[in-house]
């Protein structure tokens, strides 16, 4: 038996065989780990990121491991690029069974009361508006697939927005409501909608929260497990939610935070 806190083993099931998943912001961090995990479980995975070079490098690396992955550059804030992204996925793999909406921005940190209007606009535009509009773009294809699902990537900070990143956290709070609303609307069609709320996972995106050993220790101490999370642990939760194992799970937010406070 692996010791407590050990990294996940390399053993994976093939419960996503024959499925197609689109994962946004998937060339680093949680998005990359998710693309890798879904492909390891048998899915054909289409990824995107803003930089074409990052997409090309990631696709090459994952294909080098024998995984079925393709992708293209996409700025999810662009209506035309969202349309092209979904079309490219469907053209490549013939459809779409799962959408993992992971793209997000946090262009500024500081007190909520002092957040500039342009920062507010950018956060809401990408983290909420683009997420909704990407779902709208993907829905015609998801509706054609039995057992289709959508997963939003929120954050444990959604439950108690901290001052340095409060505006970002509030945008993640909105995803909890979006999950509930879409789940109720799409449930009669058999499309499940769920959400994952990661805790503090050391990635480039969350670097400001763990940039010093003292900060990292402080964040770890706020968890019941007394450690920070790993991208692969978030990916495992997302893989569960898009899989047949979660066939009766919808409208839920799965908090993967090592036991941090997670109640509104």
Question: Which residues are part of the catalytic machinery?
Answer: 168
Closest CA to 254 of 239, 235, 241, 243: 241
| HSE toward the beta carbon, residue 252, CA cutoff 13 A | 13
Contact 256, 199 (CB under 8 A): yes
Q: Where are the beta strands (DSSP E) in the chain?
A: 20-23, 44-49, 69-73, 98-101, 149-153, 192-198, 253-256
Contact 93, 141 (CB under 8 A): no
Q: DSSP for 207-250?
A: GGGSSSHHHHHHHHHTSSSSS---HHHHHHHHHHHHSGGGTT--
Whole-number Å distance between alpha carbons of 104 and 102 = 6
Which residue is associated with the tokens 């990052």?
54
């Amino acid at each position: 038996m692996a010791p407590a806190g050990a990294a996940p083993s390399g053993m994976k099931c093939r419960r996503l065989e024959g499925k197609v998943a689109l994962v946004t912001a998937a060339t680093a961090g949680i998005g990359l780990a998710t693309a890798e995990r879904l492909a390891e479980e048998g899915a054909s995975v289409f990824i995107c990121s803003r930089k074409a070079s990052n997409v090309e490098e990631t696709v090459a690396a994952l294909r080098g491991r024998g995984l079925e992955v393709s992708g293209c550059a996409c700025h999810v804030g662009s209506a035309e690029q969202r349309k092209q992204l979904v079309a490219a996925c469907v053209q490549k793999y013939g459809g779409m069974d799962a959408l993992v909406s992971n793209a997000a921005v946090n262009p500024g940190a500081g007190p909520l009361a002092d957040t500039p209007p342009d920062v507010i606009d950018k956060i809401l535009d990408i983290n909420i508006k683009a997420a909704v509009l990407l779902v709208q773009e993907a829905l015609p294809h998801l509706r054609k697939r039995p057992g289709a699902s959508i997963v939003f990537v929120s954050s444990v900070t959604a439950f108690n927005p901290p001052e340095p990143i409060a505006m970002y956290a509030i945008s993640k709070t909105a995803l909890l409501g979006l999950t509930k609303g879409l789940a109720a609307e799409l449930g009669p069609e058999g499309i499940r909608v769920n959400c994952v709320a990661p805790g503090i996972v050391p990635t480039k995106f969350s670097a400001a929260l763990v940039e010093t050993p003292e900060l990292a220790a402080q964040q770890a101490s706020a968890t019941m497990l007394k450690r920070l999370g790993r991208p692969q642990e978030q990916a495992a939760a997302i893989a569960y939610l898009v899989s047949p194992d979660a066939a009766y799970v919808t409208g839920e937010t799965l908090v993967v935070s090592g036991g941090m406070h997670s109640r509104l």
